[in-house]
């Protein structure tokens, strides 16, 4: 559950600028976290060089790819339904269409999809996207194709992603791949492999290129960004074997944050996702030092119970987490903090659950992503623990914390009443064509009358009203930053 799932983006089919010489059509859909959507941009870039233009018309596609997520059972079921849809279209309208599965489900269900169910033509894991041209050639010859080998080196740092369905204002920049934290509920280490960091020079080049193209905000992305560590290449776990020179010249996450902030001082910098055990004080101090690093930390805790945290193999305690919150509040008083929370983990008692409730009351998060425990095949929890909490208890506990979070969100949002906030205009408001919508540094949505302002501008907004999650106000001028 370390990855943020944006429900509004699930199943987005992606479109990019058409190349006149490209004759084949690619339909690509993404499910899951921001990493998957970022990976789809890498895939689109690779396929554009292989003669493919994207389409949003499924019936005309020569190749259909779905980028998949294994983090929740719901995500897998949704993808299965989409595969049924693709195959129905293939039978009825376009028998030459090829169907492929990318990403985390590909790694986990490779044999099932290709050999047992025969519902796809190719299966490509998260580290094998550069092999897509070869795999597609195999498929064109009438053979099934598969590559789900997990790499110890691949970071796609040498591929400039095509920005898909973008607002031209905000973009993701991947800085790490994989994860070394073996949380017992999580499939990521098995589907995305060992953690490795991307060359900081390639990250800075991408950031500078995005600024040159008019982007105003980036999000540095990884399963666990705080453990970013570049020492010339290689796995994070092998850092202790590095030479003295490599160690002395290594780049940590706080170093990388500072490099990005200094490279483009007028560009907003965000990052996600953080892990409590790896979020060090120097990162928080770097955030406080640079105005353009946003004051928001997504800090998944998963449970407020020390016993459950141990069962989850989370390498932090309740007290350590609360101390970290205290340090953030002291160093960055106006920093927004959001959470991931799981209820109904195996053996969770009512006392354990109340520990989660009391932790939420202590922090009063700005917003959060809350789930009932969903047993994922292949994880340590699935192999060694019984999913023993009845579904009705899981649902009741989830509703309790969702309701509590709504109260806390309203408290945090109201703190901004009668203040002036800086908003980056991203798009037209969903509820009114006469209003702009954007986000503050704290990642809070704000809406205000359009007047003469434009998408991509930083605007100072006086907050006059709010809902539980949205600031409402009026622009008082462009922000000097």
Given a contact cutoff of 8 angstroms between Cβ atoms, the answer to whether 59 and 93 are in contact is yes
Annotated binding-site residue? 335: no
Angle between helices 34-48 and 132-140 (to 10 degrees): 60
Q: Residue 478: how many CB atoms within 10 A of its CB?
A: 12
- Please tell me the distance from the alpha carbon of residue 3 to that of residue 26, in angstroms, as a whole number: 27
Instruction: Give the DSSP per-residue string, 1-12.
Output: --S-B-GGGTTE
- Please tell me the distance from the alpha carbon of residue 454 to that of residue 448, in angstroms, as a whole number: 12
Q: What is the 3-state secondary structure (H, E, C) of 404-422?
A: HHHHHHHHHHHCCCCCEEE
- Please tell me the distance from the alpha carbon of residue 92 to that of residue 95, in angstroms, as a whole number: 7
Q: What is the 3-state secondary structure (H, E, C) of 240-304?
A: HHCCHHHHHCCEEHHHHHHHHHHHCCCCEEEEECCCCCCCCHHHHHHHHHCCCECCEEECCCECC
Query: Tokens at residue 341, please?
Result: 């929370």
Annotated binding-site residue? 183: yes
Annotated binding-site residue? 466: no
**Residue 273, preceding peptide bond in cis (omega within 30° of 0):** yes
Annotated binding-site residue? 104: yes
- Please tell me the distance from the alpha carbon of residue 200 to that of residue 157, in angstroms, as a whole number: 9
What is each CA distance from 352 to 287, 311, 357, 398, in whole angstroms?
A: 33, 12, 9, 13
- Please tell me the distance from the alpha carbon of residue 89 to that of residue 262, in angstroms, as a whole number: 50
Annotated binding-site residue? 294: no
End-to-end CA distance of the chain: 35
Residue with tokens 């790490």: 176
- Please tell me the distance from the alpha carbon of residue 179 to that of residue 194, in angstroms, as a whole number: 5
- Helices and strands (DSSP H and E) totals, the chain: 15, 22
- Please tell me the distance from the alpha carbon of residue 192 to that of residue 188, in angstroms, as a whole number: 6
The SS3 assignment for 99 reads strand
Annotated binding-site residue? 69: yes
Q: Residue 239: how many CB atoms within 10 A of its CB?
A: 15
Query: Tokens at residue 161, please?
Result: 């992603």
The annotated binding site for [4Fe-4S] cluster is made up of 33, 69, 104, 179, 183, 186
The annotated binding site is made up of 33, 69, 104, 179, 183, 186
């Amino acid at each position: 559950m370390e990855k943020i799932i944006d429900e509004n983006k699930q199943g987005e089919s992606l479109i990019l600028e058409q190349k006149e010489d490209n004759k084949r059509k690619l339909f690509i859909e993404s499910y899951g976290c921001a990493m998957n959507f970022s990976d789809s941009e890498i895939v689109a870039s690779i396929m554009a060089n292989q003669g493919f233009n994207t389409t949003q018309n499924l019936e005309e596609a020569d190749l259909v790819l779905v980028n998949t997520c294994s983090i929740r059972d719901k995500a897998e079921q949704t993808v299965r339904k989409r595969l049924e849809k693709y195959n129905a279209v293939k039978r009825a309208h376009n028998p030459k269409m090829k169907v492929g599965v990318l990403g985390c489900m590909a790694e986990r269900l490779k044999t099932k999809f290709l050999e047992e169910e025969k519902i796809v033509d190719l299966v490509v894991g998260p580290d094998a996207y550069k092999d897509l041209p070869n795999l597609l050639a195999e498929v064109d010859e009438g053979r099934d194709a598969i590559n789900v080998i997990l790499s110890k080196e691949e970071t796609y740092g040498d591929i400039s992603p095509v920005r898909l369905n973008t607002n031209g204002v905000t973009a993701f920049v991947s800085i790490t791949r994989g994860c070394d934290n073996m949380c017992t509920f999580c499939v990521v280490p098995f589907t995305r492999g060992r953690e490795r960091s991307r060359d900081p020079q390639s990250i800075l080049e991408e950031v500078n290129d995005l600024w040159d193209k008019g982007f105003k905000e980036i999000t540095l992305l990884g399963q666990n960004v705080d453990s970013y560590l570049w020492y010339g290449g290689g796995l994070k776990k092998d850092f202790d074997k590095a030479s003295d020179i490599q160690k002395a010249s290594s780049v940590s996450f706080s170093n990388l944050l500072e490099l990005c902030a200094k490279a483009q001082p007028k560009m907003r910098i965000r990052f996600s996702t953080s892990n409590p055990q790896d979020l060090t004080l120097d990162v928080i101090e770097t955030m406080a030092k640079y105005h353009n690093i946003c004051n928001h930390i997504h800090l998944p805790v998963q449970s407020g119970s020390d016993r459950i945290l141990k069962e989850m193999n989370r390498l932090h305690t309740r007290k350590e987490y609360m101390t970290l919150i205290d340090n953030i509040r002291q160093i960055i008083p106006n920093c927004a903090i959001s959470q991931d929370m799981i209820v109904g983990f195996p053996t969770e008692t009512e006392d354990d659950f109340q520990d989660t409730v009391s932790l939420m009351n202590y922090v009063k998060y700005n917003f959060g992503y809350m789930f009932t425990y969903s047993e994922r095949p292949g994880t340590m929890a699935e192999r060694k623990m019984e999913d023993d909490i009845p579904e009705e208890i899981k649902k009741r506990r989830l509703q309790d914390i969702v309701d509590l979070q709504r109260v806390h969100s309203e408290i945090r949002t109201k703190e901004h009443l009668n203040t002036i906030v800086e908003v980056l205009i991203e798009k037209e408001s969903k509820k009114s064509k006469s209003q702009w919508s954007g986000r503050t540094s704290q990642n809070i949505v704000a809406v205000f009358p359009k007047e003469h302002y434009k998408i991509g501008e930083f605007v100072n907004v006086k907050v006059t009203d709010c809902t539980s999650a949205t600031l409402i106000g009026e622009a008082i001028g462009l922000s000097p930053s």
